[in-house]
């Protein structure tokens, strides 16, 4: 309405200016021979049905979620329930209007669930051309992917109204990502273009980044990650993004650890120091989980430089750095000393477990190394003594601990 009022005001100014220009040239617009101004006709306002108006309200709320409003996120469930009740109470004739039908579909795809779609179909008033859209959307929200893919493939998101277009492209991408990831990437890019600045764009960008990561395109992953960090780092769903980003970054095949670290630095330079520190910590932990000790060490040292002394973040950075040094040649003693200096009560359960495993592995590595050094210093005898079975067991246990330390695990 504010936009329409502004447009009406601009029209009034233009008409007034034209009337003044048509005056008699003596400073007045009402001189001899001047035509009276034409009456201003009001702008045409097309009335919309209740489903359309309710869906606009939901989308405005969800766009605030993309900008980081936790209050909007908490209110979303209540609003979804309220809208569902209002839509279920409407007369069947409401759904004969395609605009209302598509608003109902958009509501279901945006988190509203299947109840409204079933009510629409039960009333028997949905237009024949819209029926596949309703049926396909119902199949999607009920988990019947094959049926949903067949039915929704008939609809081009670019021809859908703006309130539905991006959501439809996002849904089609979700249905194709398993079997046709390239097509899914195209649809996610389309969803971003059709719904700029919305929660749909945020979700599409977030998903596109990780589909691309699975395909191994490091350059595209970097470009889109920078875009997300610039525009949506405050999103309520940014926490999910950060965890998956750290895991994906350490899994991607770069030319070298140095290349990975350089790209990481470029990406994280886009954000504020506190957020940058937290992301470096996530990357360091993911690097340890996946055996990328070079990246883990780089990220831990960067995080330490951004953490205030005597804080939990600083302690985490020291832990991850020391754990990464366990398997670095010539730095075992440094690693053990750093690990022993840490207070395990500062950490959560997962980090305490990492501390215990790293310290145990480092200690077990050093014991056989000391024994080897002692044997090398002893004079050779005519008979070679076989290794003590207990020593072999300790060495095997140490190797197993190292394997667990650098094992490729699931996303954090």
Give me the numbers of helices (H) and strands (E) for the chain, helices first please.
Answer: 19, 0
**Long-range contacts made by residues 337-344, C-beta under 8 angstroms, separation at least 24?**
342/315, 342/318, 343/315
DSSP state of 102: H
- Give the end-to-end CA distance of the chain in Å, rounded to a whole number: 46
> In the structure, what pLDDT confidence band is assigned to residue 154 with cuts at 50, 70 and 90?
very high
* pLDDT exceeds cutoff 50 at 27: no
pLDDT at position 5: 53
Q: What is the mean pLDDT of the chain?
A: 84
Q: Within the chain, what is the greatest distance between any pair of CA atoms?
A: 132
* pLDDT exceeds cutoff 60 at 346: yes
Burial-class residue 270 by CB neighbours within 10 Å (0-12, 13-18, 19+): middle
Is the model more confident about 41 or about 290? 290
> In the structure, what pLDDT confidence band is assigned to residue 255 with cuts at 50, 70 and 90?
low
pLDDT per position as a tens digit, 162-183: 999 999 999 999 999 999 999 9
* pLDDT exceeds cutoff 80 at 95: yes
Is the model more confident about 303 or about 23? 303
CB 233 within 8 A of CB 271: yes
pLDDT per position as a tens digit, 51-91: 999 999 999 999 999 999 999 999 999 999 999 999 999 99
> In the structure, what pLDDT confidence band is assigned to residue 127 with cuts at 50, 70 and 90?
very high
d(CA 296, CA 286): 7
Burial-class residue 1 by CB neighbours within 10 Å (0-12, 13-18, 19+): exposed
pLDDT at position 171: 97
DSSP letter for each residue of 172-207: HHHHHTTT-HHHHHHHHHHHHHHSTTSHHHHHHHHH
d(CA 376, CA 391): 16
d(CA 352, CA 400): 19
> In the structure, what pLDDT confidence band is assigned to residue 3 with cuts at 50, 70 and 90?
very low
% of the chain at pLDDT higher than 90: 63
CB 282 within 8 A of CB 246: yes
> In the structure, what pLDDT confidence band is assigned to residue 15 with cuts at 50, 70 and 90?
very low
* Average pLDDT of the segment spanning 187-214: 96
pLDDT at position 104: 97
pLDDT per position as a tens digit, 271-308: 899 999 999 999 999 999 988 888 999 999 999 999 99
> In the structure, what pLDDT confidence band is assigned to residue 367 with cuts at 50, 70 and 90?
low
pLDDT at position 24: 44
């Amino acid at each position: 309405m504010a936009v329409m009022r502004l447009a009406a005001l601009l029209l009034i100014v233009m008409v007034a200016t034209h009337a003044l220009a048509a005056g008699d040239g003596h400073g007045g617009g009402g001189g001899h021979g001047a035509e009276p101004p034409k009456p201003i006709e009001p702008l045409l306002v097309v009335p919309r049905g209740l489903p359309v108006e309710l869906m606009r309200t939901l989308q405005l709320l969800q766009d605030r979620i993309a900008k980081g409003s936790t209050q909007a996120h908490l209110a979303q469930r209540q609003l979804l329930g309220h809208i569902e009740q209002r839509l279920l109470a409407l007369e069947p004739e409401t759904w004969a209007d395609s605009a209302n039908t598509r608003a109902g579909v958009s509501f279901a795809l945006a988190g509203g669930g299947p109840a409204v779609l079933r009510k629409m179909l039960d009333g028997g008033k949905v237009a024949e051309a819209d029926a596949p859209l309703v049926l396909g959307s119902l199949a999607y929200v009920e988990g019947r992917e094959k049926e949903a893919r067949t039915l929704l493939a008939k609809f081009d998101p670019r021809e859908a109204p703006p309130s539905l277009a991006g959501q439809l492209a996002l849904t089609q991408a979700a249905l194709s990502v398993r079997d046709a990831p390239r097509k899914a990437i195209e649809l996610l890019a389309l969803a971003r273009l059709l719904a700029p600045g919305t929660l749909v764009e945020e979700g599409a960008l977030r998903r596109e980044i990780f589909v691309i990561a699975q395909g191994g395109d490091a350059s595209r992953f970097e470009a889109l990650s920078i875009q997300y960090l610039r525009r949506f780092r405050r999103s309520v769903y940014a926490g999910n993004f950060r965890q998956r980003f750290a895991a994906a970054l350490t899994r991607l095949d770069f030319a070298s650890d140095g290349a990975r670290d350089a790209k990481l630095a470029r990406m994280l330079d886009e954000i504020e120091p506190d957020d940058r520190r937290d992301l470096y910590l996530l990357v360091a932990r993911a690097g340890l989980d996946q055996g990328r000790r070079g990246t883990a060490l780089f990220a831990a040292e960067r995080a330490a430089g951004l953490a205030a002394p005597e804080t939990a973040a600083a302690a985490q950075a020291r832990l991850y750095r020391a754990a990464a040094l366990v398997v670095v040649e010539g730095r075992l003693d440094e690693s053990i000393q750093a690990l022993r200096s840490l207070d395990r009560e500062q950490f959560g359960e997962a980090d305490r477990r990492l501390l215990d495993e790293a310290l145990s592995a480092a200690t077990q590595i050093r014991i056989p190394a000391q024994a080897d050094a002692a044997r090398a210093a002893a004079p050779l005898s005519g008979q070679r003594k076989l290794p003590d079975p207990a020593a072999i067991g300790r060495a095997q246990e140490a190797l197993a601990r190292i394997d667990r330390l650098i094992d490729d695990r699931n996303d954090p």
